[in-house]
């Protein structure tokens, strides 16, 4: 090739180099900016092809790195957006409330559930104290958890009541955790709020269902026990009646024996019915007390005499320790004796034959302390809080089963509390006996004649003409028999028509009228009796049955002079005759 040829070809090579230079320059401008690219205008022309090639290769590598970094930044941005979405789902859309509070208790942040729970928009919750939503009586619990959290850093939890937007409170569970604000090191409190309303409703429903099941079980057990207790005395009563029917002319000794059997069994039935009526009155707050100063020692001695036949039958010993001086309290001597009787019966029932029962009475710190200890079956600690509930009994083994309805101790508790006292039960354990302790407030007043308060035989010096009106023949005849034993002249009528006929003939001084007569309202019958000449001057007494309390005001409004409650015992009838304002027949 000639020199001219080389000269002709050189511009072509220069053009190629110039093109590479331009490309490099453009790349540098992309990497470092327009100003820095200008300063290479002179130097790039002096570079050889190899240097320019290496530079282009470096620039390509840098471009790839930039693209990789951009891709990484894009992925990081996507991950951040996904994290934010997850945070929104986990925090804002969580089913429980999340609240962030400062160490001073102010709300910094709250999620949607917390806003809904508290009944306040999220924006309005910020900077408000969380304690402002807590009921005043529960705030000590909240502050205690918060102090322990910041002091120890340990997770805390408590149950309390929150008020929703100033409305009704609701039960809530709060959990506390400690958090830190990034590199600053400041601490804050993360609080989880859970509404317990539904759980509480479920628990209440389950508890009510369990209580209902227990009440049904106790009712069924009580009905079974009641049937058993009623059947026991009815069997000998039926046998005695059969003996008297088949051999009415037997020797007086046999008649006396039969009479004793009847008296004991009827007394047992009467005690069952009286206990049932008393427990009903206590439950309805209708138990009447004849309170007066009395010596508790005398009530204890009278109760011991009542229980003596039961103890003798089981060959059990009663050891009593009584104070030498009177223990006077303001109470009903008959009801207090009933308390001691039930405690002694309970001790006998759960003690084996030939066991000892210890009764002690003393004054302790201005109160009378009565204790009855036995060496019988003992009590499980789980029964301490339930043993005085109606129809609750400790488990009895078949060989020690003594019956009973499980209302004796409930009566004890009711009567003692009506006297301002208390009763407790303790036991070393099963098979180691029990101790029942009664505490009653003492009085400084002198005791009345307690003997007059206790049951005693009654007589009536006056004789009245008496009409007994009752639908049930057994009720009428029983009342008539009791009155005849008191020396009264008595006739009976089974309905309103018969009563109106008898009153004209008998001209009674006293009329006992069953308020449950069929066919005519008792008030209407009272008005018709008052319309007769004998009825205008007679003393008209309504007799209520079925365990209901006498409605004295209602009876007087209907024309009655007084109202009594069945069953009418001899003492109640004697008291009635003593109060009768009508001149006696003779």
Q: What are 174-190's pLDDT values in tens digits?
A: 999 988 776 556 688 99
The answer to whether the CB of 529 falls within 8 A of the CB of 535 is yes
| Helix, strand, or coil (residue 289) | coil
Give the integer Cα–Cα distance in Å for 146 and 131: 11
Q: Which two tokens stand for residue 122?
A: 């999220």
Same domain, 441 and 469: no
* C-alpha closest to that of 472 among 490, 500, 494: 494
Which stretches in the chain have pLDDT values below 70? Answer: 1-45, 84-91, 166, 182-186, 228-229, 232, 239, 243, 245-254, 391-405, 445-460, 545-553, 567, 585-586
Residue 528 CA, distance from chain mean position: 50
pLDDT at 33: 43
Same domain, 278 and 309: no
Q: For the chain, first and last CA: distance in Å?
A: 179
In a domain, 345, yes or no: yes
Give the integer Cα–Cα distance in Å for 391 and 558: 38
Phi-psi domain of 463 (left: phi exceeds 0; alpha: psi -120 through 50; beta: other): beta
pLDDT at 230: 73
Same domain, 303 and 428: yes
CB atoms < 10 A from the CB of 332, how many? 21
pLDDT at 184: 57
The answer to whether the CB of 308 falls within 8 A of the CB of 342 is no
Please tell me whether the peptide bond between 32 and the residue prior to it is cis, using omega within 30 degrees of 0.
no
pLDDT at 88: 65
Same domain, 482 and 437: no
Same domain, 160 and 239: no
List, in sequence order, every residue forming a beta bridge with 41; answer none if it has no partner: none
Give the integer Cα–Cα distance in Å for 88 and 112: 10
Please count the structural domains in the chain.
Answer: 5
Q: Which two tokens stand for residue 317?
A: 């010993």
Give the integer Cα–Cα distance in Å for 361 and 371: 7
Q: 0.75 exceeded by the pTM?
A: no
| Helix, strand, or coil (residue 580) | coil
In a domain, 460, yes or no: no
Same domain, 299 and 447: yes
In a domain, 92, yes or no: no
Q: End of a domain among 453, 482, 501?
A: 453
Q: End of a domain among 424, 453, 482?
A: 453
CATH number at residue 247: 1.10.287.130
Give the integer Cα–Cα distance in Å for 453 and 394: 34
Same domain, 158 and 220: no
Q: Residue 324's domain spans which residues?
A: 292-453
pLDDT at 360: 94
In a domain, 343, yes or no: yes
Q: Which letter does DSSP use for residue 584 in this model?
A: P
Side-chain-side CA neighbours of residue 301 (13 Å)? 12
pLDDT at 172: 93
pLDDT at 320: 92
Please tell me whether the peptide bond between 407 and the residue prior to it is cis, using omega within 30 degrees of 0.
no
Q: End of a domain among 195, 218, 242?
A: 195
pLDDT at 58: 84
Same domain, 270 and 389: no
Same domain, 214 and 356: no
Same domain, 50 and 165: no
pLDDT at 226: 73
pLDDT at 457: 45
Whether the CA torsion 257, 261, 264, 266 is positive or negative: it is negative
pLDDT at 34: 42
């Amino acid at each position: 090739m000639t020199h001219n040829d080389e000269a002709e070809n050189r511009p072509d090579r220069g053009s190629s180099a110039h093109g590479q230079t331009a490309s490099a320059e453009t790349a540098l401008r992309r990497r470092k900016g327009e100003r820095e690219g200008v300063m290479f205008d002179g130097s790039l022309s002096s570079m050889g092809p190899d240097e320019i090639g290496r530079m282009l290769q470096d620039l390509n590598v840098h471009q790839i790195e930039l693209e990789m970094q951009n891709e990484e930044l894009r992925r990081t941005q996507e991950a951040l957006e996904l994290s934010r979405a997850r945070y929104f789902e986990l925090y804002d859309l969580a089913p429980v409330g999340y609240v962030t509070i400062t160490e001073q208790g102010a709300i910094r942040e709250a999620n949607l559930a917390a806003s809904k729970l508290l009944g306040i928009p999220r924006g309005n919750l910020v900077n408000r104290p969380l304690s402002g939503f807590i009921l005043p009586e529960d705030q000590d619990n909240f502050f205690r958890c918060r102090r322990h959290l910041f002091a120890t850093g340990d997770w805390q939890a408590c149950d309390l009541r929150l008020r929703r937007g100033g409305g009704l409170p609701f039960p809530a569970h709060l959990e506390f955790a400690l958090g830190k604000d990034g590199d600053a090191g400041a601490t804050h409190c993360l609080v989880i709020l859970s509404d317990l309303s539904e759980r509480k409703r479920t628990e209440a429903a389950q508890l009510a269902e369990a209580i209902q099941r227990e009440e049904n079980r106790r009712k069924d057990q009580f009905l079974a026990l009641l049937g058993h207790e009623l059947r026991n005395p009815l069997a000998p009563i039926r046998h005695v009646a059969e003996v008297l029917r088949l051999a009415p002319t037997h020797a007086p000794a046999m008649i006396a024996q039969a009479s004793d059997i009847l008296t004991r069994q009827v007394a047992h039935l009467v005690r069952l019915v009286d206990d049932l009526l008393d427990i009903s009155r206590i439950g309805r707050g209708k138990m009447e007390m004849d309170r007066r100063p009395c010596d508790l020692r005398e009530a204890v001695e009278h109760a011991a005499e009542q229980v003596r036949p039961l103890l003798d039958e089981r060959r059990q010993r009663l050891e009593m320790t009584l104070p030498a001086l009177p223990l006077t309290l303001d109470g009903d001597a008959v009801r207090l004796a009933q308390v001691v009787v039930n405690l002694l019966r309970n001790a006998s029932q759960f003690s084996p034959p030939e066991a000892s029962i210890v009764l002690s009475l003393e004054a302790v710190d201005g109160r009378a302390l009565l204790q009855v200890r036995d060496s019988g079956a003992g009590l499980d600690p789980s029964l301490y809080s339930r043993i005085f509930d109606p129809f609750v009994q400790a488990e009895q083994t078949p060989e020690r089963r003594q019956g009973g309805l499980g209302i004796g101790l409930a009566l004890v508790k009711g009567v003692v509390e009506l006297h301002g006292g208390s009763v407790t039960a303790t036991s070393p354990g099963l098979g180691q006996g029990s101790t029942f302790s009664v505490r009653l407030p003492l009085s400084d007043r002198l005791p009345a004649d307690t003997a007059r308060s206790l049951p005693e035989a009654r007589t009536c010096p006056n004789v009245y003409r008496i009409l007994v009106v009752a639908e049930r023949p057994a009720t009428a005849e029983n009342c008539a028999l009791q009155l005849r034993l008191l020396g009264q002249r008595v006739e009976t009528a089974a309905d309103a028509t018969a009563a109106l006929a008898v009153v004209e003939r008998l001209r009674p001084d006293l009329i006992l009228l069953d308020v449950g007569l069929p066919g005519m309202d008792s008030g209407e019958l009272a008005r018709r009796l008052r319309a007769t000449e004998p009825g205008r001057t007679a003393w008209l007494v309504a007799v209520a049955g079925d365990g209901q309390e006498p409605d004295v005001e209602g009876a007087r409004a209907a024309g009655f002079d007084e109202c009594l409650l069945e069953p009418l015992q001899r003492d109640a009838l004697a008291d009635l005759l003593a109060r009768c304002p009508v001149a006696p027949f003779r």
